[in-house]
Amino acid sequence: MVTINKSLAINAGTAATIGKIIVLHSTDDMEATAKQMATYEHRVWRSAQTFVHFGVDDQGAYQVGTPGRVAWGAGNVNRYAPVQIELCEFSDKTRAMKAYHNWIALAAAMAKQYGVPRTLDDGNRTAGFKSHLWCSRNYGGSDHGDPYPYLTKLGISKAQLAKDLGAAAGSSASTVVESAGAISVSAAKLTVDGYWGPQLTRALQRLYGTTVDGVISSQYNWHNAGLTGGWEFVGKPVGSLLIAAMQSALGVREDGILGPDTIKAMQRKAGTPVDGKISAQSLLVMYMQKCVNAGKRPF
């Protein structure tokens, strides 16, 4: 069973596909999860002109594009592919194999839904399972060679991949359960203490219509004392949907990262001292907490 989380899905408004191809990708981004992949594509799909339908890891799947409509993941084959699926790559063999089996199960389930034949990289140019490598060689518009280099590292040959896809397509064990990732809304008031933790984040996420999980994902650590739990600090951040939504409201660069420039824009809007920092017992955070308690967006 593969759970599909739709909380990062986009509505790209692309045309309906006309073929029966499922494109099999791997991310070439070691240790990146499906959520991180989907978060990135959700944020930059317009500017980068790149997105697929699903990313799959050891926990399940995240949807980005709309199945049955064109995604921008494999060059000139895109219009023939109602489904394109990325396999997340992991150095840990246990995680890697679990992700692989989820990827196979989702591909097989989508094949049943869209009438895709159980063939792999054969001569049929509009139907079947196709690797990104096959798409690059046969259609152009892309030069990628995945997923085979990564699968080879796992000890999985092309023949084994074809066998696994065929076996899964004939199995009833590949049921897909869809989840929007929704979390119940609480009406509890926040304590106005000037510290930005998970409770404030959840309230803001509800107000701005993003994933409600109490986490500000993939941020650079600027060592702001007023930020408490629920902040995910990494060396190479890709940003948070919530921060990007707030940046959009503020009219500043939408990179999803809470840096000094974004904080200054927040402080100017809030009418608090402008120093680009969120200190302990921050006046800016108190302003945000008061806005949330009143049921309105701070920016």
The chain-wide mean pLDDT, for the chain, equals 90
Q: Which helix (H) or strand (E) holds 140?
A: none
Dist. CA 17–CA 42, nearest whole Å: 20
- Residue in this structure with the two tokens 């759970």, named with its chain if needed: 3
pTM above 0.75, yes or no: no
Dist. CA 293–CA 119, nearest whole Å: 56
**What's the pLDDT at 171?**
56
For 124-172, how does the pLDDT look when each residue is reduced to its tens digit (9 = 90+)?
999 999 999 999 999 999 999 999 999 999 999 999 999 999 876 665 4
Dist. CA 204–CA 291, nearest whole Å: 10
- Taking residues 4-22, report their average pLDDT: 91
Provide the CATH number for the domain formed by 2-179 in this structure: 3.40.80.10
For 89-133, how does the pLDDT look when each residue is reduced to its tens digit (9 = 90+)?
999 999 999 999 999 999 999 999 999 999 999 999 999 999 999
Residue 182 pLDDT grade (very low, low, confident, very high; cuts 50, 70, 90):
very low
- Taking residues 177-185, report their average pLDDT: 40
Residue type, 40: Y
Beta strands in the chain (DSSP E): 2-5, 20-26, 54-56, 61-63, 83-87, 127-131, 176-179, 216-219, 231-233
| DSSP SS3 for 160 | helix
Residue ranges covered by each domain of the chain: 2-179, 198-293
Closest CA to 18 of 131, 110, 127, 108: 127
